[in-house]
Amino acid sequence: MLKKSLLLLTFLATGQLVFAQKPLTTNTGAPVGNNQNSRTAGENGPVLLDDVHLIEKLASFDRERIPERVVHARGAGAFGEFENYADNSAFTKASLFNTPGKKTPVFVRFSTVVHEAGSPETLRDPRGFAVKFYTDQGNYDLVGNNLPVFFIRDAIKFPDMVHSFKPSPIYNRQDNHRVFDFLSNQPESTNMLTYLYQDLGIPANFRQMDGFGVHAFKWVNAKGEVTYVKYKWTSQQGVKTLSAAQAAQVQATNHSHATQDLYAEINKGNFPVWELSVQMIKPEDLDKFDFNPLDPTKIWPESIAPSKKIGKMTLNKVPDNFFESVEQAAFAPGTLVPGIEPSEDRLLQGRVFSYFDTQRYRLGGNFQRIPVNAPKVEVNSYNQNGVLSNRTTASDVNYQPSTANPSFTDNAQFNYSTQKIDAETMQRAISKQNNFQQAGDLYRSLSKTEKEHLISNLSGDMSQIRSKEVLNKMVSYFYQADADYGTRLIKALKLDKTQVQALTSK
C-alpha cells in the first residue's frame, strides 16, 4: 500500500507515470545482478563459462525457433466464443450444439497454406480456417479452408502434392511448371483450381472470407444414429477479395496486411462474426447422386442438402503472446468430442493421423498440455511422462483397469458409432469420380468480369509450364468442364485447339 502511495505522489509531483519494477530473474527464478555485461577474467580477458545467466540466455535464444509447419506456416489467430442457436440432439450428442444460447470459448487460426512463415499474405493460395472449441466435453477442432473443396481426394497423394507446390529442391523457389506437372495427373483438381484462380484465391483479409470444413463428418446422436454433415462459416462482414493488380499494390507496402487488419479491428472493438451452418445427408442417401458425397473435391449443392444455421462465432481478443498462442496452437481433425466422428473420406482419414503426428514432431508428445491447446475440462488419463510433462500425477496406479484403485473408467455411452462392413480390401479409385461437372457449373455461374479474371489469373500461371504435353493436358480438363472455359484458355495460351480436344476423349 505504501509503494502504491509513493508511486501516486511521484506521478502527481512530476507528471510522469512511474511503473512498479519487478526483479529480472533467470529461468529458475534467481535474481539477475547484471544483464548488460558478461563476466570476464579482467577487463580484456576472456568471457567466463561460469556466467550462468549469459549461458542460459544464449541457450534459450538458440532454441527460440521450433520447426516451421510444413503447410499453414504463415498465420494469425484470435480468441472468442461460439454461441449455439438450437437443440441439435436429434442428430448429435455433442453438447456444444445441443443447448440454445450455450456459449463455448474458441481459438481460431487463419493461415496461408503453401508459403513459408515470412511470406506475404497477398499470395494466391487457399486460406486455412481452423477453429478450436474448448467444450465441456473436451476440445473439438474444426480444421478447414476458405474454399469449399480440395485438390485431391486421397491422402496418399498429399505428400507429393505439397512437394510439387513447395520450392524446387534444386533452385529453392516455387515453380508453376512443377505444380501443373503434378496436377495434370489429377483431373479431380479442376474444381479446386476454378475456385482458386478466381479472385477468391486472394482474400482481402481474414475477416471478410468464409470458411468450410471441406470434408464430410459424421454426427452421431445418443441412439447411435448417423448423419453426414458438411460445415460452412459465413462471414457477417461479407466476402471481399483482391484482384491480382490490387494484391500487388498491397504487397508493395505491407506483407502482413491481413494480420494487421484482424488485430486492428479487434482492438477497436469491431469484433468479426461468422455464422456456422451445416448441410446434412443420411447414410442411406449417399449413393443417390452422380458423385460421391464423401469426395472432398466436390460440394454438396443446396438443392440436395440445404444449409441449416446452427450458431455464430465472435472473435474478441488478440493473443497476449503471438508465439505462445498462434505458433504453438496445434489443430488436428482427430481432435473430436462424443457425437462427432470422421467420415470415410480418404483424405480426411489420412489427416486424422497426419495432423497429430506433425504436432508431436513440432511441439513434442505433450503438445496438448500447452495452454492454447489445453482443454478447459479436467483431463483424466493414464498417459504419462515425455518432454515437458506437467501432469503432476501422484498415484501408483498408472494403468486401467485396476481393481485396487479404479480412478478413471470408460463409459459405453461415448462409444464410437457402429458400421456394418462386408467388403474386400482393395487399392483403387472411387467409382463416381465425375471430375469436371461441378467445375463447369461453377464457371457458368460466374459473371463476365469474374470469368475474365479467372482466365487471366489461370493462363498467367499456366504460361510458365515448360511442357506442351502438360499444358495441353491441363487445358483439356478445363475444356471438359466447359467448352467456353477451355476455348478461352486455348486462345490465351495460343494452343492448338485440335490437340487439346484430342485429349478430352481419353
Q: Kindly list the catalytic residues.
A: 72, 145
How is 415-446 classified by DSSP, letter by letter?
Answer: PPPP------------S----SHHHHHHHHHS
* Cβ proximity of 192 and 198 under 8 Å: no
Report the largest interatomic distance among the alpha carbons of the chain, rounded to a whole angstrom. 90
Rounded-to-integer distance, Cα 500 and Cα 491, Å: 11
At 188, list the grid cell.
479431380
State how far the Cα of 196 lies from the Cα of 147, in Å rounded to an integer.
8
Q: Cα(241)–Cα(261) distance, rounded to whole angstroms?
A: 14
Structural contact between residues 337 and 94, judged by C-beta atoms closer than 8 angstroms: yes
Please report how the helices 176-183 and 448-462 are oriented relative to each other, as an axis angle in degrees rounded to 10.
110
Smallest Cα–Cα separation from 121: which of 173, 172, 65, 73? 73
Nearest to 313 by CA among 110, 458, 459: 110
Distance CA 18, CA 369 (A): 37
131 close to 111: Cβ distance less than 8 angstroms: no
Residue in the structure block whose three cell numbers are 512498479: 20
Q: In whole angstroms, what is the distance from residue 461 CA to residue 474 CA?
A: 12
Closest CA to 386 of 360, 362, 412, 410: 360
